[in-house]
Amino acid sequence: MAKWLRAYGDREGDGMVQMTFTLAILPGDRAREGAKRFAEAHGLKEPLVTTMEQCSQAHTYFVVYGHSAHQVDVDSIDVAELAAKPLAREQIEAMGKELGRKIVVVGACTGSDAHTVGIDAILNYKGFAGEKGLESYKCFDAHNLGAQVENVELAERAKALGADAILVSQVITQRNCHKENAAALIDLLQKEGVRDKFLLLLGGPRIDNKLALELGYEGGFGPGTKPSTVAAFVAEEVLRRAKGKSVDPRR
């Protein structure tokens, strides 16, 4: 039986949603009507413009509240969910102890990407959202190469360090450059015959596990991912490989 989801605005399933957008028009009655028609063109019924603020010499920022008739059947959705169990630090450290050596992880923002907030949050000691990064774990040897690292350099460092896992962060997404750059690393490692030596993970604001798998990675991590989630996934998969078991991201 289908399980339908509709937006929750003032009550469950009332279909009320909020849109935000910017139009090249200055604030005024004409602009307000334009914003309402723009929202209606996107399927909103009885739209109400709640915010209309000039944001440049020629543009206005709008927030519109309205009713959407759209709904989604959750039971019809088939996605590759990331197999990252929430584990305590002690459990992750125990897997490292069972492995008998440190797990070497190399991460970077590759290509022209200069936004290191994500990779810093996961790898650096200071961490994110109250959790310390992989540098703080006894079982990890974490190397953050920083921003604008070319795929060739990342691959060479990973090989030189004998890395178990490579973490790639892609924040810039104009013209899908994040996909092209991430896929280029896979191609490079395959050409060098070392693809299977590494657990490859991809992260960024427009990354999810489905996209990462499509690009040839073992896992994808989106916004809000905490260091412990990545640590647990890496430790589990590296230990699985050490035991001769194949990686199965969909398990």
Answer for the pair 135, 123: CB distance below 8 angstroms, yes or no. Answer: yes
How far CA 229 is from CA of 3, 7, 33, 160, 177, in Å, comes to 29, 28, 46, 26, 26
Query: What is the distance of C-alpha 248 from the center of its chain?
Result: 19
Q: How many CB atoms within 10 Å of residue 122?
A: 28
Helix axes 227-242, 89-99, angle to 10 degrees: 30
Q: What is the CA radius of gyration of the chain?
A: 22
* Intra-chain end-to-end CA distance of the chain, in Å: 25
Is 126 an active-site residue? yes
Torsion of CA 45, 48, 49, 50, to 10 degrees: -140
Catalytic residue among 45, 97, 126, 191: 126
Catalytic residues: 126
